[in-house]
Amino acid sequence: MMWGVLIAAVFAGIISGMGIGGGVLLIPALLFLTDLNQQQVQGVNLLYFLPTAIIALVQHVRAKRVRMEIAKPLLAVGWLGALGGAALAVWLDATLLRRIFGGFLFVMGWMELCKRKPM
- In a domain, residue 32? The reply is yes
Q: What is the pLDDT of residue 13?
A: 86
Domain count, the chain: 1
Q: What is the pLDDT of residue 62?
A: 95
> What is the secondary structure of 38-85 as a DSSP string?
HHHHHHHHHHHHHHHHHHHHHHHHHTT---HHHHHHHHHHHHHHHHHH
- In a domain, residue 33? The reply is yes
At 40, the amino acid letter reads Q
Question: Is residue 66 predicted with pLDDT exceeding 90?
Answer: yes
How close are the terminal C-alpha atoms of the chain, in Å? 45
Q: What is the pLDDT of residue 22?
A: 86
Q: What is the pLDDT of residue 100?
A: 93
Q: Convert the pLDDT of each residue in 22-38 to its tens digit.
A: 888 899 999 999 999 98
- In a domain, residue 48? The reply is yes
Q: What is the pLDDT of residue 1?
A: 64
- In a domain, residue 25? The reply is yes
> What would the mean pLDDT of 30-51 be, rounded to a whole number?
91
Give the C-alpha separation, 65 to 33, whole Å: 35
- Regarding pTM above 0.85, the answer is no
Mapping DSSP onto H, E and C, the string for 72-107 reads HHHHHHHHHHHHHHHHHHHHCCHHHHHHHHHHHHHH
Domain that holds residue 27: 2-114
> What would the mean pLDDT of 72-81 be, rounded to a whole number?
92
Question: Is residue 79 predicted with pLDDT exceeding 80?
Answer: yes
- In a domain, residue 119? The reply is no
Q: What are phi and psi of 54, to 5 degrees?
A: -65, -45
